Amino acid sequence: MKRFFVGVFFMVVAVQSVVADTVRVEILAADGQPLANAALLIESRSAPAKVSSKQAVVDQVDKQFTPTVSAVQPGTDVVFPNSDNIRHHVYSFSEAKNFELKLYSDKEKPSVNFDKAGIVTLGCNIHDQMVAYVLVSDEYDIVVTNDQGIVELNLQESETPAEVRVWHYWMGDELSKAQNVQLTSDSGKLTGQVQVSPPMQEDKEPSRLEQRFNRRGN
């Protein structure tokens, strides 16, 4: 009987030794403000908090894509429901995935297979303000910060990073432009600052197609 309990004790210790810790990481922009939709590129041997599936969803709500930034593995089907009460026309001219979903309503849920690594920039041919990004990679496990610039990673204690690579769409549409960011401990979390700022906004006239749809109340 004693041998049995000793065996159980060592088994429990072994299990505890591989249990992952949750590490909170905060990413800041150049101005010190929390950076939402920043993608942390973690080498694939480290497990992110959420495991990728073979299907992802990019919805359309209030004339915006949601989420703004997604991360999937090659071969993932991305579903594009339309939760608005108007029609949208989703497209991408990106090298990683060139496709077009012509005008459709909330009764349809088309999907597209993202089979090639790279960044896919999404747009709507009717509403120019609608832009989103799908990061397709099997080299990295990619996790994206929330509105507060926070992301949680499930890592072994020995894997707690001192540095991460961070990409944001203000850098452009190539993962190679990601920056190496040093992390420091701050109030129970790790904090890193990316040297990136929002681009200057330019006034842009709506396209003829957009003007026509706006007149119709879309």
Residue 26 sits in a domain whose CATH number is 2.60.40.420
Percent of the chain with pLDDT over 90: 63
111-166, pLDDT tens digit by residue?
Answer: 999 999 999 999 999 999 999 999 999 999 899 999 999 999 887 655 778 899 99
Number of domains in the chain: 1
- Distance between first and last Cα of the chain: 74
Residue 181 has pLDDT above 60, yes or no: yes
Q: Is the pTM of this model over 0.95?
A: no
Task: Give the C-alpha separation, 7 to 91, whole Å.
Answer: 59
10 inside domain:
no
Range of the domain at 128: 20-197
pLDDT at 60: 96
The residues, ordered by sequence, that sit 6+ positions from 54 with a Cβ below 8 Å of its Cβ are: 73, 75, 76, 77
209 inside domain:
no
8 inside domain:
no
Residue 49 has pLDDT above 60, yes or no: no
pLDDT at 186: 82
CA 45, 51, 54, 60 torsion: positive or negative? negative
3 inside domain:
no
